[in-house]
């Protein structure tokens, strides 16, 4: 794409005063870089992904409120993690993290384990144990 054809569509980047660096061809046919405020198809895809993440967060919170899962799952979703990433951060096997999703197991976790999760989520143990509505 030519330097003057680099998309400058409205996007989330623009509102935050960010620019995306793109490669383009200048007047001499040489590759160069050009800033872009956004590209509509990319913006739509990003907005859809953010909506999906927010939906997963809301669903996890609803399951916590119903007593179907522990707050660990909610905070995992809130921090855009999956079980594998969370397990690596807290130093547990994935099956153990999944087990901690069970409310009955979560209630029995010792303070050392709760502290590991709270540290990863950058919250207090009290916040981990008591999700506000």
Domain residue ranges in the chain? 3-38, 42-129
pLDDT: which is higher, 18 or 133: 18
Give the Cα separation of 73 and 111 in Å (integer).
18
pLDDT band of 12, cuts 50, 70, 90: low
Give residue 36's pLDDT.
78
**Burial grade of 100 (CB within 10 A; 0-12, 13-18, 19 or more):** buried
pTM: 0.74
Q: Give the least confident one: 22-26, 71-75, 101-105.
A: 22-26
pLDDT: which is higher, 36 or 49: 49
Question: Which CATH class for the 42-129 domain?
Answer: mainly alpha
Does the pLDDT of residue 45 top 60, yes or no? yes
Give the Cα separation of 109 and 112 in Å (integer).
8
């Amino acid at each position: 794409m030519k330097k003057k054809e680099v998309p400058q569509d409205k996007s989330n980047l623009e509102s935050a005063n960010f620019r995306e660096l793109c490669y383009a061809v200048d007047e001499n046919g040489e590759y160069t870089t050009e800033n872009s405020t956004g590209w509509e198809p990319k913006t739509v895809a990003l907005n859809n992904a953010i909506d999906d993440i927010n939906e997963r967060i809301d669903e996890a919170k609803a399951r916590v409120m119903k007593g179907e899962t522990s707050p660990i799952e909610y905070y995992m979703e809130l921090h855009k993690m999956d079980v594998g990433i969370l397990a690596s951060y807290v130093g547990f096997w994935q099956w153990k993290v999944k087990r901690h999703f069970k409310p009955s197991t979560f209630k029995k976790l010792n303070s050392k384990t709760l502290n590991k999760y709270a540290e990863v989520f950058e919250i207090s143990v009290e916040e981990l144990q008591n999700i506000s509505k």
